[in-house]
Amino acid sequence: MALQSPQKLSNYVGSQVTAASEKYLEVASPHNGETIALVPLSTASDVDVAVTSAKAAFGAWSGLTFKARSAYLLKLYVELQAHADELAELIVREHGKNRAEAKGDVAKGLETLEYALSLPQLTQGRVAYVSSGVQCRDERVALGVVGGIVPFNFPFMVPFWTIPIALGMGNTYVLKPSEKVPMTMTRVAELASRVLPAGVLNIVHGDAKCAQSLVEHTDVRAIAFVGTSAVAEQIHLRATQLGKRVLALGGAKNHLVALPDCDIEMTAQDVVNSFAGCAGERCMAASVLLVVGEQPELVERIVAKARALEPGTDGVRAMGPVIDAGAVSRITSAIARAEEEGAELLLDGRSEPLFAERRAQGGFWIGPSVIRHTSSTDCALHDEIFGPVLSILHCPNFDAALAVENANCYGNAACVYTQSGASAEYFTQRFEAAMIGVNVGVPVPREPFSFGGIHRSRFGTCDITGDAAIEFFSFRRKITTKWGIAAEKSWMN
């Protein structure tokens, strides 16, 4: 990948705005470790500038009809679609996804925007005569300025889980992108400024201090967060204390269960796609495969398919790097600990030659790893590793597999591989997860169905997309009217 001069980024508040802070953080390319951008570490005053911009724009924006706002969002969709390849290339450059994954990142984000175009139809209120001469109706009302804090792993898709619906409902928005991948959403803000009124969408860059300032700003009415469970819990607690609406999605430890009647080839390929796709850096990635019975051929095929992956950007076998040196250290430490605990390394991504060669050249590369455990207490079966690591545990029967899955503290995703409808139903009704797949290892719901987990995978009451997002980013105004004297008496008149 050709070296380019580092891009010095600015905040985006209607237009480019230089942050008051003189401190900048270097953004490293995961491919080779080279500095590709400088991102400002915005201060509380920078956050205030962005929130003030959003607050000033709220009156006019929320005063538009749903149809009028939808027309703006359609223009935004057209603009972003026209630059989809450019955005995907930015994702490849700053995040490290392979090109197909980066294009998928953009496409999935645009799907939520497509859904938001239907808000004029989806948000129609109800009207009913509730008594003689008395009518009730309800309508959706925007909250005000809302904030979003997002992780590095999907630079476009995760911000667009919330931005389109929040804007479509009449809110104005302040986003703090991840400081590890700030370039994609900066470019989105530039494109959005061509079609959206100034102040409707604002970008403020920074680290945890910037995020805290956004959460605590008195004019921010709601916060949507995606990240680790520890931080999600802290943000949920703090924002709730301040009387704000908050939805904070956390981490995951997703379990796949392979039953003896599973289609071996399909299951093996799907398992590898799930745990090694996006280098394992996604909250829907497989972490643990529970194999009911021995099934040696299935395990062998999984290892063979994982071993066939190669470091790179293009091709069906291409797997990108992880985000930074810290991720490499965390993943290699988890593998080493599993080995110390007595697990068997069926595939050791630390020493895979092609990946090790790239890593020696300065990039953050680590190959896929497959670990077979004999003890259900091994740390790799419980800790969120967030990398291309699959733990395999053999279980004697259905209920033993369910006991392992049910015991995990998260509740994001689970999947069962089987050709039996009865077996599939048995598991789907007993998994302790909110997003469940049958022969689908990454069971991400598509609109209008909403995305969100349970237990320590989500703090808050709503999911983050679909109809749940409509609920989160608005409140219901109920209006009761009476005109004239009712023909019959009741307690209401």
Task: Give me the active site residues, please.
Answer: 283
CA separation (Å) from 25 to 9, 237, 282, 312, 403? Answer: 10, 28, 24, 26, 45
In SS3 terms, 319-333 reads as ECCCCCHHHHHHHHH
Q: Do the bridges between strand 389-395 and strand 413-417 make them parallel or antiparallel, or are there none, so unpaired?
A: unpaired
Residue type present at position 38: L
Quote the CA–CA distance of 293 and 411 in Å, as a whole number.
25
Provide the CB-side half-sphere exposure for 444 (13 A, CA): 20
Residues near 5 by beta carbon (within 8 Å), at least 6 away in sequence: none
Distance in angstroms (rounded) separating the CA atoms of residues 131 and 411: 45
Residue 133: C-alpha distances to residues 127, 130, 227, 482, 486 (Å): 13, 8, 51, 6, 5
Element (H, E) at 369: strand 369-373
Two tokens, residue 228: 């680790």
CA dist., res. 424 & res. 411, Å (int): 18
What Rg do the C-alpha atoms of the chain give, in angstroms? 24
Q: How many CB atoms lie within 10 A of CB 489?
A: 10
Q: Is 158 in a helix, a strand, or coil?
A: coil
CA distance 30 to 387: 14
Q: Which of 468, 454, 4, 439 is nearest to 229 (CA)?
A: 454
Q: What is the edge-to-edge ordering of all strands in the sheet holding 413-417?
A: 344-347, 369-373, 389-395, 286-292, 254-258, 413-417, 435-438
